[in-house]
């Protein structure tokens, strides 16, 4: 909790660096405009998710009640529970979901949840490694590269 508080304080002290990742706003705007069900499945706890939701104004794109976070009641990633709950929250079968994930544990969790399309997010130097993982369909370096063409 102390580490999280210190991180949150740093975020607020350096607002120029505390922002959504490149491409996030365009992707989120697209999902909202096209009425595509979406949510966040995060390994962060409620305190952290509330902080980010408030300071990054996530409610303009997400129903914050449907965001799934580490509630300390279900096993965390790499267990599939968080993705299964997220899919249920948005009313989509896991096999029909798309997950963008930046951690190995998260990729494994998405795979175990039978997510239909798993996109790994990582730096170019890790692309070859990530593409070798059997569950990964595609690797992108930033959300700017997210293939909007996946949605007709």
Written as six digits, the tokens of 144 are: 């700017």
pTM score, whole prediction:
0.92
Tell whether the model's pLDDT for residue 19 goes beyond 80. yes
Residues listed for the chain: 152
SS3 141: coil
At 32-62, the pLDDT tens digits run 999 999 999 999 999 999 999 999 999 999 9
We find that the CATH architecture of domain 2-150 is 3-Layer(aba) Sandwich (3.40)
Other Cβ atoms within 10 Å of 45 Cβ, number: 15
Contacts of residue 62, defined as CB under 8 A and 6 or more positions apart, other chains included, come to 28, 38, 39, 40, 53
At 96-124, the pLDDT tens digits run 999 999 999 999 999 999 999 999 999 99
The terminus-to-terminus CA distance of the chain in angstroms comes to 43
At 49-98, the pLDDT tens digits run 999 999 999 999 999 999 999 999 999 999 999 999 999 999 999 999 99
Contacts of residue 152, defined as CB under 8 A and 6 or more positions apart, other chains included, come to none
What's the confidence (pLDDT) of residue 4?
A: 85
What's the confidence (pLDDT) of residue 16?
A: 86
Contacts of residue 23, defined as CB under 8 A and 6 or more positions apart, other chains included, come to 142, 143, 144, 145, 146
The domain spans of the chain are 2-150
d(CA 74, CA 76): 6
CB 90, CB 98: distance < 8 Å? no
> What pLDDT band is residue 1 in, cutting at 50, 70 and 90?
low
Give CA angle at 136 (132, 139), nearest 5°. 85
């Amino acid at each position: 909790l102390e580490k999280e508080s210190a991180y949150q304080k740093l975020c607020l002290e350096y607002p120029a660096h505390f922002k959504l990742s490149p491409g996030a706003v365009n992707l989120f705007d697209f999902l909202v405009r096209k009425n595509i069900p979406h949510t966040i499945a995060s390994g962060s706890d409620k305190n952290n998710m509330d902080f980010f939701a408030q300071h990054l104004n996530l409610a303009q794109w997400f129903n914050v009640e449907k965001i799934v976070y580490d509630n300390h009641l279900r096993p965390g990633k790499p267990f599939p529970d968080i993705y299964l709950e997220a899919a249920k929250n948005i009313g989509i079968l896991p096999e029909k979901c798309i997950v963008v994930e930046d951690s190995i544990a998260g990729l494994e969790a998405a795979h175990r949840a039978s997510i239909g399309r798993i996109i790994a997010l990582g730096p170019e130097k890790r692309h070859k490694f990530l593409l070798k993982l059997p569950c990964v369909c595609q690797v992108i370096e930033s959300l700017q590269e997210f293939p909007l063409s996946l949605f007709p």
